Amino acid sequence: MKFKLRRYLLYYLARVGIFFISLLPLKIGLPIAAGIGRLAYWVLPKYRKITIENLRLAFGSQKTDLQIRAIAKDVFANLGKNAIELINFPKLNERNIDSFVTMVNAERLDEGYRRGKGIIIITAHFGNWELLSATLRIKKYPGVAIGRRIYFDKYDKYLNRLRKVHDVNIIYRDESPRKALKVLKENRIVGIVADQDVDSVDGVFVDFFGVKAYTPAGPAALAKASGAVMLPTVIVRKNGHHELIVEEPVELVNTGDKASDLVENTRRWSRVLESYIRRYPEQWVWMHRRWKTKYEG
């Protein structure tokens, strides 16, 4: 009961804070949100510890401890910026989206549609991934995103209200995969954020920063079953602006060995996302236990 009461208290405090910060111009709100994020680095020791441990595991001797800690602080700052941008979603529209987000290689989406079997957008908790979905919908690309339910119902409903401002609809990952297959059959987009170690979904082990990481196998399996084109796509924060980058389609292997093909096809999209995380480590959510499931090999 005490824990539940604390959840409600934090939720309503957050809503009050959101109301006041949403009144500010975004240019003023962003540095304030970044400051709040850096404060969270100090007041959330559990997540600070996980972030630093993961960064050390990923970069090892490539970065000094001082660099690791600086990146960790920027990770929290980026999440603060994401939050204020999210609550400003109602201010985005067709007229101003180009001043906020630049699309790179959008023609790859158009080519995917011409194939007629749907598109799987595979992305990560990187940059402002919620803005990626909103931008595609503002640009009139039809589809849905696959997401997980948030543990606290009020947070879940509030987040979905913000998403639906731009008609971003969610298929929860505990729902039937037939829903996603139906969307692809209609030649629309299914967006999947698949960069976490989730023991409730089927996965395979692939290298991630040189360490075996349990990775969702669903995206590769869905692409194989539907014939949809798989496009790794990221949104990168750059000097107060964003670039939404559509990478080349993942060429799926089909050797006849289903288990081996699943691992290889998962490795192919994971490698693309890792390349962006290496370049912009401060924009990924390192406070998730990415290597939680141990590789028995």
**What's the pLDDT at 26?**
84
Q: Establish if 296 belongs to a structural domain.
A: no
100 has pLDDT over 50:
yes
Range of the domain at 138: 2-283
Q: Establish if 295 belongs to a structural domain.
A: no
Q: Which residue has the higher pLDDT, 71 or 11?
A: 71
Task: Please write the tens of the pLDDT for every residue from 220-248.
Answer: 999 999 999 999 999 999 988 999 999 99
Check which CATH number belongs to the domain holding 230 and give it.
3.40.1130
Q: Establish if 252 belongs to a structural domain.
A: yes
Q: pLDDT > 70: what percent of the chain?
A: 93
Query: What average pLDDT does this structure show over 141-161?
Result: 81
As for how many domains the chain has, the answer is 1
Q: Establish if 115 belongs to a structural domain.
A: yes
Alpha-carbon distance of 273 to 270, in angstroms, equals 5
How many CB atoms neighbour CB 102 within 10 A? 16
pTM: 0.91
Q: Establish if 25 belongs to a structural domain.
A: yes
Q: Establish if 100 belongs to a structural domain.
A: yes
